[in-house]
Structure 1
Amino acid sequence: MWLMLLISTLTFFISFIIMILASTLAKKSITDREKASPYECGFDPKGSSRLPFSLRFFLIAVIFLIFDVEITLLLPTASIIYISNVFSWLMTIIFFLTLLLLGLYYEWLQGALEWSK
């Protein structure tokens, strides 16, 4: 027991020392304006390289991704209906679809599905 505690403590301290050394040695000491600006074929940049990003579009994209993954989880259930218990299959599908619809209703109530305000 004491040996395991000693090894765990020693491993923690060695990892901590390595992380501190790595973060100290990896810091850039000289910041150059030219190196920090975007490269545009040798010309001075005309505008900011950081474009504003629509948070609404990001939320819609994440919601789409979540429902897309859930649909891919739902599709194989149609092929196992014949090899499984029908009642068990039906309860699983109803629970899964109810969970999906509750999530969609919650997102709708929060206003995440409205494109413009």
Structure 2
Amino acid sequence: MMSIFMIAMITMAISLIVMILATILSKKTIIDREKSSPFECGFDPKASSRLPFSLRFFLIAIIFLIFDVEIALILPMVMIFKFSNIMIWSSTSLFFIFILLVGLYHEWNQGALEWTE
């Protein structure tokens, strides 16, 4: 019991020493106005540095993430196929896929899947 306590104390001491050294060594000593500016080439920006973001692209990315998560939820269903009742597994799988298809139909009906207008 004492050896586990000693190992834990040594580990915590080493971690604390490394964190303190990293904090001390990572401090910037010279803060330069030019280095902290967004443009280091010496020219003043003529326009805003913010580019407009496409809301269509954002919606497509969100839809992709939703369906990506749904695929991650469907894949384990194949693994539990042989351990579960076939009727319960089938009804759960079909209900899950039905919800996905209804969501896809709704997105298609709303026009969120059309990239160009």
TM-score computed with the length of structure 1 as normaliser:
0.66
Structure 1 segment 72-111 matched on structure 2, within 5 A: 72-111=72-111
Separation of aligned partners in 2, 1:55 and 1:73: 27
Separation of aligned partners in 2, 1:108 and 1:66: 15
- Runs (4 or more) in structure 1 with deviation over 4 Å come to none
Give RMSD over aligned pairs: 1.4
Q: Which runs of 5+ in 2 are unaligned?
A: 1-32
Q: Give the match for residue 39 of structure 2.
A: 40
* Paired residue secondary structure (1:99): helix
Total equivalences in the alignment = 81
Structure 1 segment 12-91 matched on structure 2, within 5 A: 39-41=38-40, 42-91=42-91
Identity across the alignment (%): 63
Which amino acid letter does the alignment assign opposite residue 53 of structure 1? F
Separation of aligned partners in 1, 2:87 and 2:96: 14
Q: 1:82 Cα deviation (Å)?
A: 0.3
Which amino acid letter does the alignment assign opposite residue 78 of structure 1? V
Which amino acid letter does the alignment assign opposite residue 64 of structure 2? F
Separation of aligned partners in 1, 2:38 and 2:100: 46
Q: 1:46 Cα deviation (Å)?
A: 3.1
TM-score computed with the length of structure 2 as normaliser:
0.66
Q: 1:43 Cα deviation (Å)?
A: 2.8
Q: Which runs of 5+ in 1 are unaligned?
A: 1-33
